[in-house]
Amino acid sequence: MGYDTDESAEQPITELDSETSWQLLSSGALGRLALSVSGRVDIFPVNYVVHEGKVYFRTAEGSKLVELTIHRDVAFEVDEIAEKSGWSVIVHGTARRLQKLSEVAAADELPLRSWLATPKFNYVEITPTEITGRRLVFSDEPDR
């Protein structure tokens, strides 16, 4: 990359271990869900909660849910970007709509607030297959 830095100085990009990534993921509430249907990529902001190693969100009937049922491989990203530093955690996994009454009832107990004043009866669960996280330190671009 042609970028020299003192090892003691903060690195601009630090890969986070899985445990730290999970901690950050669990600390957030707003994420963005990306999925692909027939080659068309789509992305949605969702309110979410982490529970026992899975990500849960609710959705009203609509295109998002339809897409999820068609193609279940998703990417989910959460970040917190401030002026000087930030972090980003990305989960890859599979999404499915909760259908058993027992699991819907369990999900209904999660501290998952819905923003919109519309009924959202559908819970979606993402089972991660991979989690990656990066801590970012911002500054002016180095001289070229």
Contact stretch for a copy of itself (CB under 8 A) within 17-25, 33-41, 48-56, 98-106: 33-41
Should residue 110 be labelled a site residue for a copy of itself when binding is judged by CB under 8 A?
no
Residue 17 Cβ vs a copy of itself, minimum distance, rounded to whole Å: 19
Q: Of residues 17, 53, 66, 138, which one binds a copy of itself by CB under 8 A? A: 138
Which residue, 106, 144, 142, 139, is CA-closest to 123?
Answer: 106
Q: Of residues 60, 66, 70, 105, which one binds a copy of itself by CB under 8 A? A: 60
Q: What is the dihedral of CA 26, 31, 95, 116, to 10 degrees?
A: 110
Q: Of residues 20, 23, 34, 94, which one binds a copy of itself by CB under 8 A? A: 34
d(CA 50, CA 2): 39
Beta partners for residue 95, in sequence order: 126
Total residues in contact with a copy of itself, by rule CB under 8 A: 47
Should residue 65 be labelled a site residue for a copy of itself when binding is judged by CB under 8 A?
no
d(CA 1, CA 15): 16
Q: Which two tokens stand for residue 58?
A: 């609710």
d(CA 44, CA 76): 10
Q: Which residues bind a copy of itself (CB under 8 A)?
A: 1-3, 5, 12-13, 30, 32, 34-36, 39-45, 60-61, 73-77, 79, 81, 86, 88, 90, 92, 114-121, 136-142, 144
